[in-house]
Amino acid sequence: MLLPPGEEMLADLARLKADERVFGHMLHGVRTPARTREELEDDIAFWQVRGYGTWCVFLREAGDFLGLCGFMERPDGRGVALRYAFWPESRGHGYAREAARAALDFGHRAGLARIIAVARETNRDSIEVAQDIGMVPAGEFEHLGGRMLVFESRP
- Domains of the chain (ranges; CATH) run 2-153 (3.40.630.30)
The residue ranges of DSSP E strands in the chain, in sequence order, are 2-3, 54-58, 65-73, 80-86, 115-120, 136-143, 146-153
Q: Look at residue 109 in the predicted model and tell me its pLDDT.
A: 94
**Mean pLDDT for all residues in the chain:** 92
pLDDT tens for 18-50 read: 998 888 877 678 899 999 999 999 999 999 999
Task: Report which of residues 106 and 92 the model is more confident about.
Answer: 106
Kindly report the pTM of this predicted structure. 0.87
For strand 54-58 and strand 115-120, is the pairing parallel, antiparallel, or unpaired?
A: unpaired
Kindly give the interhelix angle for 10-18 and 33-50, rounded to the nearest 10 degrees.
Answer: 120
pLDDT tens for 103-117 read: 999 999 999 999 999
Model confidence at 60, pLDDT cuts 50, 70, 90, reads confident
Helices (H), 28-74: 33-50
Q: State yes or no: pLDDT of 8 exceeds 90.
A: yes
